Copies of this chain bind each other. A is one copy, B any other.
Amino acid sequence: MKGNLIFAQSGGPTSVINASAAGVILEALEHSENIEKVYGAAHGIVGVLNEDFYDLGLEDKEELKLLCQTPSSFLGSCRYKLANPEQDASDYERLLEVFKKYNIRYFFYNGGNDSMDTCNKISKFLTAKDYDCRVVGVPKTIDNDLMGTDHCPGYASAAKYIGTTLMEIYCDAHVYNSPQVTVVEIMGRHAGWLTAAAQLAVEEGYGPDYIYLPERAFDLDKCLADVERALNEKGKAFLAISEGCKTVDGKLLPELSGDLEQDSFGHKQLGGAALVLSDLIKAKFAVKVRAIELSLMQRCSAHLASKTDVEEAHEAGREAVRAALNGESDIMIGYERKALDHYEIEYTHFPLANVANAEKAFPDEWINEAGNGIKTEFMNYILPLIQGEPELKRKDSLPRFAKLKLEQAGEPTDYVK
């Protein structure tokens, strides 16, 4: 089918989301027989609704390739959530209007759970309206919690950052001859995949003593007993804790201190688990406690990306375009492992309806019985994903990010204020 393409990014960014962007854009530009214009929407679905997009065909190809080492969503992201079309179809009608105006026949949405849900709703709406458009989701999430894929683009680079950084923190946190507790807080709203990556450091001999995932109820008394045991054994305790850990009553750690904000998806604004836990530990043991949040660094440290992750993310973007050109729609690109004796993946096409809004938890069988550690079996899963270091182009020994012209192609409106 002949027409134009819109690509947009959504949700929290990752170190490799732009590698997928480069995949979509560069592959699309190679198929000008079917895809005439390649547009990039500013700030996700908001840019589509507002006709705020760029003509990416005007960009320098070398700069587009540099997107593979440029963290975060170069087109911007948004926290705007489309209504359920059965309740309020106005955004979808508007989207159809824009698609018709610009003859959009290919729509690629690069995001996580919420984005795949958005993608699915759009796809269904367009089909119901008999508007022919191929809708493909390109996954990304450091949380690694999407259904329909062995792992998610962005996870491995975040995991590699976490493993490496915990090893380095271990060295620093064990240097003094006085008792010290170190609590590192790792992202992951509901799933423990990221926090489990702390096991990478454990296996190398420089890891946390205890790891707490949101998949198990957090028991403060047990945790304090863990700290006491470690302090008694070696005068140090090193904990990795997920921001999403909840007590058996469903309370997040920061909820003890009250004021949680909510974003427009109804997710609670997290952070502060390490700080609150540190205060509790300090109160009980009167030792030096350091709370460390890996914060945005864990999702934007492209300088420490996994080459495997970057290459797969890029290829997922290209595969999305190939699938759409083949007539496929309403799918998300996924990864499937093909072999047991070595690491090899196949790019799969997974129905969006099956991925939308479902979440893949960290497998229970990889959590130890006490619920405070990860089993070595997890290494078979994660180690292949973090392999390799991309060759980074640098300037002055600092990162050289893609510099794009971003020439306006649409006629921006203020449909979404």
Contacts and interface: CB of A to CB of B under 8 A. Distances in A.
Interface string A385-409: 0111100001111110100000000
A296 B401 contact: no
B401 A300 contact: no
Interface stretch (A72-80, A87-95, A322-330): A72-80
A171 B71 contact: yes
A204 B398 contact: yes
Interface string A151-168: 000000000100111011
A335 interface: no
A46 interface: yes
A115 interface: no
Q: What copy number does this chain have within its complex?
A: 2
B171 A13 contact: yes
Nearest to A161: B303
A63 to B, nearest CB: 14
B175 A77 contact: yes
A51 to B, nearest CB: 14
Contacts of A395: 204
A168 B298 CA distance: 10
A167 B401 contact: yes
Given A43-B177, A388-B397, A398-B163, A169 B77 contact: no
A7 to B, nearest CB: 15
Given A160-B397, A204-B395, A172 B76 contact: no
A274 to B, nearest CB: 10
B176 A300 contact: no
A372 interface: no
B300 A303 contact: no
Contact of A397 (B70, B178, B387): B387
Contacts of A74: 171
A201 B387 CA distance: 28
Interface in A292-316: 292-293, 295-297, 299-304, 306
A350 interface: no
A212 interface: no
Given A13-B171, A171-B13, A293-B293, A165 B301 contact: yes
B397 A172 contact: no
Interface in A182-217: 200-201, 204, 206
The winner among A42, A160, A168, A169 for most chain B CB atoms within 10 A is: A168
A394 B163 CA distance: 13
Contacts of A276: none
Nearest to A177: B43
B399 A164 contact: yes
A64 to B, nearest CB: 16
Nearest to A271: B290
A118 to B, nearest CB: 16
A283 to B, nearest CB: 12
A276 B287 CA distance: 23
Given A72-B171, A387-B397, 9 more contacts: A13-B175, A76-B174, A168-B399, A169-B296, A172-B299, A204-B395, A204-B399, A290-B295, A306-B397
